[in-house]
Structure 1
Amino acid sequence: MAAVAEISVDAAAANKLDSKSKSESEFNVQKLVDMFTKLNPLAKEFIPSSYSHHDHLHQGYHQLPPTNFLGTAADSDHQNNRRRRTNYSQGRRRSNGRVHKGQREDSIRRTVYVSDIDQHVTEERLAALFCTCGQVIDCRICGDPHSVLRFAFVEFADEQGARAALNLGGTVLGYYPVRVLPSKTAILPVNPTFLPRSEDEREMCSRTVYCTNIDKKISQAEVKNFFETACGEVTRLRLLGDHAHSTRIAFVEFAMAESAIVALNCSGMPLGSQPIRVSPSKTPVRPRIPHPTPH
């Protein structure tokens, strides 16, 4: 019996302790509620730093745009705008790529490949042959001028001209019959800003040659000395190239047009460790415009 009474007393004490803890917990929760209700929701510490004090403080806490786990709403809007701009740019690039591809394919259909060209045949003479088929808008002869293995690309204004040009295969031009086939590539256009703008510049082109495959160790003075020794006086020379390319190129302008013709025979001759390639230039070597010096 004493043991039962003892257990009853302990249970009563435990119940009393639980009810006391519960009341203290309720008091603490109520105390927190009272504290939060006294806080000012427009206080500076409740407003994200990305919002202007003057623009947003007067709007009230509940009118501020909600935040997310990536940051403030302004950050989210910025990310969305940037994503839209990126998607637009990518779409525009894809569209431009399709346009350029279509233009290139159209140019290929209007171009023929001509091979077995006599070394004495000029671009003007070759273009004159194909003018009977349609309007020729570009003609490029490539290859070693000392060899019959030269080839050319002839581009017409329309596909009908290119199809008609295929019938000229076997025509003797110079000493050899030329072969004419559909082209698999388009002619790389010359930047129109580089083309001659006047009769004087066209005359400059007749005195200028385009030289490629120049050894990178060769200096401009050495290139000039090479052509002056073999061909005649050089009045202007522009040597171009950078570390991204294995060889360099040059535009060489002579005092006399006859010197430029002689220079074409230098194609295949070694200059340094490389055999150079020389062809007529389609662009003049314009004098450089000096930049104004700051005072």
Structure 2
Amino acid sequence: MNAGQPPYLRIVADIQSRIAGGELRPGDPVPTTRAIMREWGVAMATATKALAALKQEGAIETRPRVGAVVASGRPARSARSIERDRLVRAALRIADTGGLQALSMRAVAAELGVATMTLYRHLDAKAELTQLIADAAFAEIDYPDPPPGWRSHLRVAAQLQWAAYQRHPWLPRLVSITRPVSLPGLLAYGIWTLRALDGLDLDPGTRLHVYATLVNYVRGTAVNIESEVIALLDTGMTSAEWGRARLSVDGPLVAQIAEEGAVVDLDSLFAFGLERLLDGLTVVLDGPGSHR
């Protein structure tokens, strides 16, 4: 398997290969979530994401009282899917290097060494491409076993999302709270995060608002990562170094707001704000006076 792929895609490729080779035939049961966990040594969320991707591609289907089986009359993995994987990886490299403004069909075609028009056999529009790279970025997340307690679980979920934005500074611009896109990587994050609220006496609307509030906080803070990366390239200084360099000019003004030596950077701002958000959710999830 290709070690450069996210774990769930490697599982998808392996199962597709078994279908293509006839080891798994139409109607045959495919490995269950737990079987995938054992065979590939991955977490439940990764196994679930692999099965979701196979189902979305049409390689497998769910039958009542049977479970997931190889779909009838479906190819193991179409040339479109294989080519799309290469295309998405190329698009990720371009976005990581030059930001979304550098991403275009022409740029991806040049990266792959093909004519631009050939890409339209695999993608409908640039909008679809940006959705796919956002999903691929979330698919890179390797979910740990969730820690006990909703607060610890949500803290880890926020940190995983924050790390994804640090790897891909363009990603926050593609995450929508009010118009989310249903793709495997994005859905897997939502499913894993919402497990933190299982067992709590919450109505569906409150569960969704808790989840959206957490996602929106992390995303809202992370939109600054891209501009900070650009500023670092332009100035050669971190935000702390830039602040110290500006003291000779802005010192008297800064002194009216903060004492000398007080520093705010994106990581400290994220961590501080996250704990205050969790403090606020304690009132909703545990009731007044609770904290865990």
TM-score, structure 2 length as denominator? 0.20
Of Structure 1 and Structure 2, which has the larger fraction of its residues in strand?
A: 1
Q: Over alpha carbons, which structure has the higher Rg?
A: 1
